[in-house]
């Protein structure tokens, strides 16, 4: 019997469930430089590079959705183009508290240097440079 294996290639998008789509869009646009797009029937998403975060507002989730969809449950690592000292300066200028870092971490392809912040829902956002 031949075993067929699924081979994943890439992440196309992920969904963030948020308390306020407006507040989330403002934070990711103004602090992290994402583009806010509208797609489908007025749905919102955040884009950067070749990545997309679709947004669902608590109580108005698009179906199907995660079994326990709630705001503030994500823990994401994002690779920045800017050196981490520039990221830290931009966060300080925007009044965004840095929870931890810079600290060494291990990413999907090797070592990282990372800062940790929280978005408006309390999601943990790791901003990293590959080292």
Active site residue ranges: 126
Provide the residue count of the chain: 131
β-pair partners for 113: 104, 129
Helix then strand then coil, in percent of the chain rounded to 5, is 15, 40, 45
Distance of CA 59 to the CA centre of its chain: 21
> CA 36 to CA 48: how far, in whole Å?
9
User: Do 17 and 69 touch, CB atoms closer than 8 A?
Assistant: yes
DSSP H helices, 1-126, are: 21-30, 84-94
């Amino acid at each position: 019997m031949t075993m067929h294996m699924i081979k994943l290639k890439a992440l196309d998008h992920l969904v963030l469930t948020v308390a306020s789509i407006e507040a989330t869009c403002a934070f990711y646009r103004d602090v992290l430089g994402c583009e806010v797009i509208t797609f489908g029937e007025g749905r919102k998403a955040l884009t950067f590079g070749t990545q997309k975060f679709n947004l669902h507002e608590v109580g108005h989730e698009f179906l199907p959705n995660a079994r326990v969809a709630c705001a503030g449950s994500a823990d994401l690592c994002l690779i920045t183009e800017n050196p981490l000292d520039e990221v830290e300066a931009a966060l300080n200028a925007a009044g965004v508290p840095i929870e931890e870092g810079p600290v060494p971490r291990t990413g999907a392809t090797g070592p990282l240097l990372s800062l940790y912040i929280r978005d408006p829902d309390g999601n943990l956002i790791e901003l990293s440079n590959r080292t």
